[in-house]
Every structure is written in C-alpha cells, then in structure tokens.
Amino acid sequence: TQLLEQSPQFLSIQEGENLTVYCNSSSVFSSLQWYRQEPGEGPVLLVTVVTGGEVKKLKRLTFQFGDARKDSSLHITAAQPGDTGLYLCAGGWSGSARQLTFGSGTQLTVLP
C-alpha cells in the first residue's frame, strides 16, 4: 500500500510569515500533485510535478519534488489569509488503475 504522510497536520501562522509543508512516502511516484481545499468545496489542483528535483513556482507558492521522487514540499512566502485551507498532496504511479493516492492533508490557517 502506497502511503503519503503530510506534516504538519495543522499549522496556524500570522499573515506575512513563511511556511513549508511536507509530503513524504516510502514509494516512488511517477508524478505528484498538490491540491488546496477550501471549506465546503472540493479540492482544486495547484500543480503537478513529474521530474525528480523539479521546482515549480506559482506566485508565492514554491513546489519541489524530491530527487528520488518519494517526497515533496510546498513553501509559501508571505502567507495571506486567502491561503487558508487544507493542502493535500497526491501521488500517482504508472500502471495503476487507482491513479492517485492522497496524503492526510495539512490544515493551514493564516491569521490577519
């Protein structure tokens, strides 16, 4: 069973602070995605990374895929209240009908 562990589980910070959340697994993934879920909504895709060591930036968000494709991180610079939400990583691997395994999630709260 491929498992994705996310840390921290909960994070509460002040507006303007930086933060990093982590997604770790013992399995090698062919791709890894990050989603954000707001209350009462479904998850929305933020980014997909497919190459070991790959770094992608989305405004104040920086995503990195580990060299061994077993882990990933999401760094947010100068967090804003609008960044509040549940951040989910999801790993995919070729040859599996399950397509994606979701991590346990990090609940981020950014206080004004």
Task: Summarize as ranges the residues that interact with other proteins (CB under 8 A).
Answer: 31, 33, 40-45, 48, 88, 92, 97-105
Residue 61: which of 8, 18, 13 has the closest Cα? 18
CA contacts within 13 A on the Cβ side of 28: 6
**CB 13 to other proteins: min, Å:** 22
| Rounded alpha-carbon distances, angstroms, from residue 3 to 59, 60, 83, 89, 101 | 29, 28, 26, 11, 7
Instruction: Closer to other proteins by CB, 64 or 106: give it.
Output: 106
Rounded to a whole number of angstroms, the minimum distance from the CB of residue 38 to other proteins is 10
Nearer to other proteins, 2 or 73 (CB): 2
Q: Minimal distance in Å, beta carbon 53 to other proteins?
A: 19
Nearer to other proteins, 20 or 31 (CB): 31
Nearest to 35 by CA among 81, 100, 96, 80: 100
